[in-house]
Structure 1
Amino acid sequence: MNLEAAQITAWLGQFLWPLVRVGAMMLVAPVFSNAAVPMRIRVLLGVALTVAVMPAAGGAPALDPLSAAAVVLAAQQVIIGAAMGLLVAMAFQTVVVAGESISLTMGLGFATMVDPQSGVPVPVLSQFLLVILTLLFLAFGGHLVLIQLVAESFRLLPLDAGGLAAEDFHTVVAFASTMFSGAVLLALPAMAALLMINMIIGVMTRVAPQMNIFSVGFPITMLSGFVILLTLVLPSMPQRMSAIWRQAFDTIRQILGA
């Protein structure tokens, strides 16, 4: 059997262009981009997902992989995949922002560790909430919804349909407001309760000036913070975060033109 260069290029494009979009999503989206997962496993997962979504991708444009048009097409697929992953990543950053706010109020702002997903130092409380959030995301099947959206993206925004529109970039940036508002709503009960406790400690120091505020106030604030975290913040996190995830997935469908 004789194979022509055009046939080989067409077969390569049917796998290469979906791989670019899937790979860009996996480089940005939480869980898939976790540095704790070996790179070899992530590469194999990306190839497996690409093979799974290839039927939904349909026919790929017949382009020379080294041409300028191929570079433009690859950039478009990277932007589409990265935008999908970024929206989910911003939803995950909600608990990081909330954890930083609670940590500062509790007096734990100095206790930080490196986040394996982002590679930047975050408070220990934020990392704790992020681990719980990752487990909730997997338990709710969020990773399966994201994979389904990637497969649907090839139907809603085919390979030869061009990239995202200008208003889609504004939509992605505007979703950051959802991240901050969700963080405020998640951390508000703890911050309000800790503020009242700090006010009470302040009144106590005025009534009894000889009391050492550092030896008394810090343990009370920290202990109260953990109690409030277990009784107010953690029970409300599944409901609030599931709503933010739904908004993130709806925003993905919006930029894809669903």
Structure 2
Amino acid sequence: MVEVTFAQLHGWLVAFLWPFTRITAFFMASPLWGHSSVPNQVKIGLGALLAVVVAPTLPPMPDIPVMSWAGLGVMVEQVLIGISLGIVTRVMFAAVQAAGEFIGLQMGLAFATFFSPDTGANSMVLSRIFYMIALLMFLALNGHLIVIEILATTFDTLPIGLGRFNAGGFEMLARFGSTIFLSGMLLALPLVGSLLIINLSLGILNRAAPQLTIFSIGFPMSLITGIILLMVLMTDYQRFLERLFTETLFFMQDMLDTLAPLN
């Protein structure tokens, strides 16, 4: 007869629960797995599956009861690590969405918005198109597999029951938020600069010849020029996304190394 003791049950629970918490927190915060169209049952099931897979490879667990204040602290620690990684991936895709917002505003497409279920707010059509292309490109380059591999290696860099973090890692995460504006503006700058020159030229022409209906031809001209420049921009969009993905993945690893406490 097989007998299972309470200590064995507690060891199995600890080996599953704490990795499951970190993985699930990452899935909830990331834009790919945390999308509103993905059912919560799928997120929890995928997190449980990955927790079962990585559990045998983890270092020894701390001797901390689950139902204790120390166990609650370990749980919060896992949530913080998972959410931090999810925020990094969300910032990466937010930079692409910001570029679509900048271009749409300059082209006069500010009114072309619709409700986005993943953000819970209205988003521009160009922003949504850029986001979907970036998401598909991320999957095509196996970026999701690389992110899951980085998530699995976090248990070696930041073992369970670490107890403390290096505050410099969270400072890096806060500064990484500037990527939304920096990378988004770099992507949108060719179109924004060209359309700004057109708008300035139309403004000068309107002052020089007020009898001309400049504003009646300004919007079609900006829209047509923006579409043509957008076609040109798409030829270099893949290279921009590859660089953005590479920088984000390297930053993710650097942030994890920085979060480890100093000895």
Q: Fold-level match, TM-score > 0.5?
A: yes
Distance 1:164 1:237 in 2: 37
Question: How many pairs were matched up?
Answer: 257
Letter aligned with residue 124 of structure 1: V
Contact kept? 2:103, 2:192, Cα under 8 Å: yes
Aligned partner of 2:49 in structure 1 is 48
Distance 2:228 2:175 in 1: 34
Aligned partner of 1:236 in structure 2 is 236
Contact kept? 2:205, 2:214, Cα under 8 Å: no
Aligned partner of 1:132 in structure 2 is 133
Distance 1:116 1:164 in 2: 34
Aligned partner of 1:250 in structure 2 is 250
Aligned partner of 2:103 in structure 1 is 102
- Distance of aligned partners of 1:239 and 1:162 in 2 relative to their CA distance in 1, 3 Å threshold: farther
Aligned partner of 1:74 in structure 2 is 75
Distance 2:143 2:164 in 1: 25
Give the Å deviation of 1:60. 2.3
1:108-163 CA-partner distances (Å, limit 9, x unpaired): 12222233322222212111110111001101111011000011111111113234
RMSD, matched Cα = 1.7
Aligned partner of 2:7 in structure 1 is 6
Letter aligned with residue 246 of structure 2: R
Q: Give aligned-pair identity as a percent.
A: 35
In the TM superposition, 1:1-258 aligns within 5 A as 1-232=2-233, 234-257=234-257
Contact kept? 1:9, 1:62, Cα under 8 Å: no
Contact kept? 2:25, 2:82, Cα under 8 Å: yes
SS class of match (1:127)? helix
Give the Å deviation of 1:54. 1.7
Letter aligned with residue 79 of structure 1: L
Give the Å deviation of 1:228. 1.1
Give the Å deviation of 1:39. 2.2
Distance 1:107 1:77 in 2: 45
SS class of match (2:235)? helix
Contact kept? 1:94, 1:182, Cα under 8 Å: yes
1:46-105 CA-partner distances (Å, limit 9, x unpaired): 222222222332332233222101110011001111111111110111011111111111
Which consecutive unaligned segments of at least 5 residues does structure 2 have?
259-263
Letter aligned with residue 249 of structure 2: F
TM-score by length of structure 1 reads 0.93
Contact kept? 1:95, 1:129, Cα under 8 Å: yes
- Distance of aligned partners of 1:164 and 1:246 in 2 relative to their CA distance in 1, 3 Å threshold: farther
Letter aligned with residue 209 of structure 1: P
Contact kept? 2:28, 2:43, Cα under 8 Å: no
Give the Å deviation of 1:256. 1.9
- Distance of aligned partners of 1:55 and 1:238 in 2 relative to their CA distance in 1, 3 Å threshold: farther
1:151-209 CA-partner distances (Å, limit 9, x unpaired): 11111111132343111100111111233211111010000111122123224434543
